[in-house]
Structure formats: structure tokens, C-alpha cells
């Protein structure tokens, strides 16, 4: 039966509606709904000349012979929390991974796994946050992909991001470069992100508001590069597993020991109170706006001053040093004068925090 014959009977083939307040399976079909989702929800926020070409791959120019690449997936629950959302983490997390290798972030790609039934206004807030954070960092989102899965299969939304950054050949911090005598410096108070997620997830009402510390950390890296250069041996953003896990990874990679001073470790009162209430150790709680630096040549205090010249590093301080004893192990002098081992946990204190 042709369209004309249908019309003769007063029948028609209605076009599918392209206006929805929730994600539907058709948004992942590759057809008109997919095109509308890209055109209406993504392109207005991520728009740039490279993305607008809509090719099978982005063609970008690189000004450096050496690049850093990183990819990460974000499955945080809940999707939105005090201080950010899954989109904020997706941008900051990947850009910070590049920055910890001394790279200046330049490009991002984004992949979305959306669950049928996700409210479009939630998607809009996430995409808007990604756009704003990328713009603040001077980074272009140049390629992406969207898939839609059935209800109950993706906790609303998962995001994967891949980043490319430009390497300065004269500035190459790396996990295996820690040396005895290095100062261990943290850029600010620890534990805020993980406890903000916990408070939002469990609807726990603390007396003080807990907000994620999620932030773009390359400005601190740039300051240290300019002030200290090759004296910056190692950089790491202590996300999952917190400061303790990051330091253990560095100690193992460099085959050195780390000795921390408990009294020097900055823990915000609200984080300390929440951790005490829940029986958690802030050293293992995730951060999204804090970095750890290993600084050689006796220049730990110079690194602190460099970071303190920026708002993100206002709380920077030396928290320990690298030693030749107990290679591969992190120890801490406690407030009562003893020493304890700070090992890696066998699992996450707080799963699904990024």
C-alpha cells in the first residue's frame, strides 16, 4: 500500500515526536531522535568548528611533537551533588590526569551512556557544566558519542572522556621519579569530595555543608613548572583511594619510602567530623581538586609558596618527605609520637565516587 492509497482512506504515517522530557531508547537509534538529541542537547554547548564537521573522527592540529593522552570513565552516584555533577568530574578528572604528567590539556572527546527515562533537564545541567568547565580550561570538546540503554541499566548516565595534552619536554614529572630527600607537598585540605558524595548519597545531614572540591588543577602545575622546573619530580591527583593510595603507588613505582607527619596533614573540620561519625579515615577519601607533589633539591617550601599564590593552592603545605628506608612503604608519625604503616586498602571505603 502506498502513501497515496493510505491518504485515500484518511490514514497517515505520523512523524515521531522529537520533543521529550526524558531520554527514550529512540535517542540511541542513529535516526531522527539521535540527530535531534545531538543538535538540541549537545551541539549548542560543545559547539566549535571541529565538532561541527560531524565527521567519523576529529581532525586536530598538535603543536608539540610529544603528547599525553588519558581516558577515564565516570559512574558517580548520585549524578548531582554539592559542588558539581558527573559532567564536572568528567572534565576535571581527565584534564587533571593530563596535568599530572606536566601536559597542558588541549582536547577532549566525550562518550555518553544514557539510561532510558533520564530527565532531559538533568542531562542539560550535566552538559552545560561540561561546557563551562572545558571553556574555563581553554579546552575544546571535539568528538563524542551517545548510546541509550534500557531502564535500570546505567544508573541514569555514565560518561567516558579522553583527553589530549601537550608535553613540555623540559618538564616531565612521573611516578617513578621520587627520590630520597624529596618533600611531599599537598595543595590543600583533603577529603571534601568523597564526603560530599557520601552525604548526598545517604542523605546525611551534617552540621556543616560539605561540598566537592572538584577543580581544574593545571594552573597549579603551570606555577610549579615556572618556579621550580625539574625540581618537580612527581605529581598526582589523589582521587579514588585518596592520598594514602596515591602515595603508596608512588613509593612502589620509585622504590622509595614515604614518611608523613600526621599533624601536618590538612583535614577540614567538617570532613574530620563526618569521617569520625562514619568510621572512615580521611587519608583514604577521594579528592577531585587537590594534588600531591614530590619536590626535590630542598625546594618544598618554594613549591608551597608557588601554589599559595593561586586560590586553588591557598592551603598548600609540606606533609612529609621521601626516605630511603622501607622502600615501597608509606609510614606516618602520629600525633602521640608513634609510627604506623599507611597501607593501601583492599577495596574502596566509598565506591562510585567518580
Please check whether residue 1 lies inside any domain of the structure: no
Q: What pLDDT is stored for residue 2 in this prediction?
A: 53
CB atoms within 10 A of CB 39: 11
Q: Could you tell me if 110 and 191 lie in one domain?
A: no
Please check whether residue 306 lies inside any domain of the structure: yes
**143: nearest Cα among 217, 53, 226, 80:** 53
CATH number at 96 reads 3.30.1330.10
Q: Could you tell me if 208 and 295 lie in one domain?
A: yes
Q: Could you tell me if 319 and 211 lie in one domain?
A: yes
Please check whether residue 325 lies inside any domain of the structure: yes
Q: What pLDDT is stored for residue 181 in this prediction?
A: 98
| DSSP structural state of residue 53 | T
Q: Could you tell me if 123 and 181 lie in one domain?
A: no
Q: Could you tell me if 229 and 333 lie in one domain?
A: yes
Q: What pLDDT is stored for residue 6 in this prediction?
A: 47
Please check whether residue 65 lies inside any domain of the structure: yes
Task: Say how far apart CA 95 and CA 136 lie, in whole Å.
Answer: 12
Q: Could you tell me if 137 and 156 lie in one domain?
A: yes
Q: Could you tell me if 217 and 110 lie in one domain?
A: no
Q: Could you tell me if 215 and 86 lie in one domain?
A: no
Q: Could you tell me if 317 and 227 lie in one domain?
A: yes
CATH number at 224 reads 3.90.650.10
| DSSP structural state of residue 345 | P
Please check whether residue 317 lies inside any domain of the structure: yes
The DSSP secondary structure of 165-218, one letter per residue, reads EEE-TT----GGG--TTPEEEESS---HHHHHHHHHHHT---SS---------H
Enter the pTM of the model.
Answer: 0.88
Please check whether residue 15 lies inside any domain of the structure: no
Domain, as residue range, for 188: 175-341
Sheet arrangement for strand 157-167: 67-74, 157-167, 103-115, 140-149
Q: Would you call the peptide bond into 138 cis, given omega within 30 degrees of 0 as the criterion? A: no
Residue where a domain stops, chosen among 143, 167, 191: 167
Task: Say how far apart CA 315 and CA 280 lie, in whole Å.
Answer: 22
Please check whether residue 129 lies inside any domain of the structure: yes
Task: Say how far apart CA 205 and CA 60 lie, in whole Å.
Answer: 47
Residue where a domain stops, chosen among 150, 167, 184: 167
Tally the domains of the chain. Answer: 2
CB atoms within 10 A of CB 283: 25
- Helical pair 269-278 and 192-202, crossing angle rounded to 10 deg: 50
The tens-digit pLDDT sequence of the chain (354 residues) is 454 554 554 554 444 455 788 989 888 766 788 888 888 888 888 888 888 877 777 888 887 779 999 999 999 999 999 999 999 999 999 999 999 999 999 999 999 999 999 999 999 999 999 999 999 999 999 999 999 999 999 999 999 999 999 999 899 999 999 999 999 999 999 999 999 998 888 766 665 678 999 999 999 999 999 999 999 999 999 999 999 999 999 999 999 999 999 999 999 999 999 899 888 999 999 999 999 999 999 999 999 999 999 999 999 999 999 999 999 999 999 988 899 999 988 776 778 888
Q: Could you tell me if 126 and 219 lie in one domain?
A: no
Please check whether residue 350 lies inside any domain of the structure: no
Residue where a domain stops, chosen among 167, 187, 220: 167
| DSSP structural state of residue 16 | P
Q: Could you tell me if 152 and 228 lie in one domain?
A: no
Q: What pLDDT is stored for residue 18 in this prediction?
A: 55
Task: Say how far apart CA 321 and CA 300 lie, in whole Å.
Answer: 9
Task: Say how far apart CA 24 and CA 119 lie, in whole Å.
Answer: 10
Reduced to 3 states, what is the DSSP secondary structure of residue 352?
Answer: coil
- Provide CB contacts within 8 A for 98, sequence distance 6+: 68, 69, 70, 104, 105, 163, 164, 165, 218
- Provide CB contacts within 8 A for 45, sequence distance 6+: 127, 128, 130, 131
Q: How far is residue 345 from each of residues 8, 34, 284, 307, measured CA to CA in Å?
A: 72, 43, 8, 30
* Cell representation of residue 12: 497517515
Q: Could you tell me if 94 and 126 lie in one domain?
A: yes
Q: What pLDDT is stored for residue 13 in this prediction?
A: 47
Amino acid at each position: 500500500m502506498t502513501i497515496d492509497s493510505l491518504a485515500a482512506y484518511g490514514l497517515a504515517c505520523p512523524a515521531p515526536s522529537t520533543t521529550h522530557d526524558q531520554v527514550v531508547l529512540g535517542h540511541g537509534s542513529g535516526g531522527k531522535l539521535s540527530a535531534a538529541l545531538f543538535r538540541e542537547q549537545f551541539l549548542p554547548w560543545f559547539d566549535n568548528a571541529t565538532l561541527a564537521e560531524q565527521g567519523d573522527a576529529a581532525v586536530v592540529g598538535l603543536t608539540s611533537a610529544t603528547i599525553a593522552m588519558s581516558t577515564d570513565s565516570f559512574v558517580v552516584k548520585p549524578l548531582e551533588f554539592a559542588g558539581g555533577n558527573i559532567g564536572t568530574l568528567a572534565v576535571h578528572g581527565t584534564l587533571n590526569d593530563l596535568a599530572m604528567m606536566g601536559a597542558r590539556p588541549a582536547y577532549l572527546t566525550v562518550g555518553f551512556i544514557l539510561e532510558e527515562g533520564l530527565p532531559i533537564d538533568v542531562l542539560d545541567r550535566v552538559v552545560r557544566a561540561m561546557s563551562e568547565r572545558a571553556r574555563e580550561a581553554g579546552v575544546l570538546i571535539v568528538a563524542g558519542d551517545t548510546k541509550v540503554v534500557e531502564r535500570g541499566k546505567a544508573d541514569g548516565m555514565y560518561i567516558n572522556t579522553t583527553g589530549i595534552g601537550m608535553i613540555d619536554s623540559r618538564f616531565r614529572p612521573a611516578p617513578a621519579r621520587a627520590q630520597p630527600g624529596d618533600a611531599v607537598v599537598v595543595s590543600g585540605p583533603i577529603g571534601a569530595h568523597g564526603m560530599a558524595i557520601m552525604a548526598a548519597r545517604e542523605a546525611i545531614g551534617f552540621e556543616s555543608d560539605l561540598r566537592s572540591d572538584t577543580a581544574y588543577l593545571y594552573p597549579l602545575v603551570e606555577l610549579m613548572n615556572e618556579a621550580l622546573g625539574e625540581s618537580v619530580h612527581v605529581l598526582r591527583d589523589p582521587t579514588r583511594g585518596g592520598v594514602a593510595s596515591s602515595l603508596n603507588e608512588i613509593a612502589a613505582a620509585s622504590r622509595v619510602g614515604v614518611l608523613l607527619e600526621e599533624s601536618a596533614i590538612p583535614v577540614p573540620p567538617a570532613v574530620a567530623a563526618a569521617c569520625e561519625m562514619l568510621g572512615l579515615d580521611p587519608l583514604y577519601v577521594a579528592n577531585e581538586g587537590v594534588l600531591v607533589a614530590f619536590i626535590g633539591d630542598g625546594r618544598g617550601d618554594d613549591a608551597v609558596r608557588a601554589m599559595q599564590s593561586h586560590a586553588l593552592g591557598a592551603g598548600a603545605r609540606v606533609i612529609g618527605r621521601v626516605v630511603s628506608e622501607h622502600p615501597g612503604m608509606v609510614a606516618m608519625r602520629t600525633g602521640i609520637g608513634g609510627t604506623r604503616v599507611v597501607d593501601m586498602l583492599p577495596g574502596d571505603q566509598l565506591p562510585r565516587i567518580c
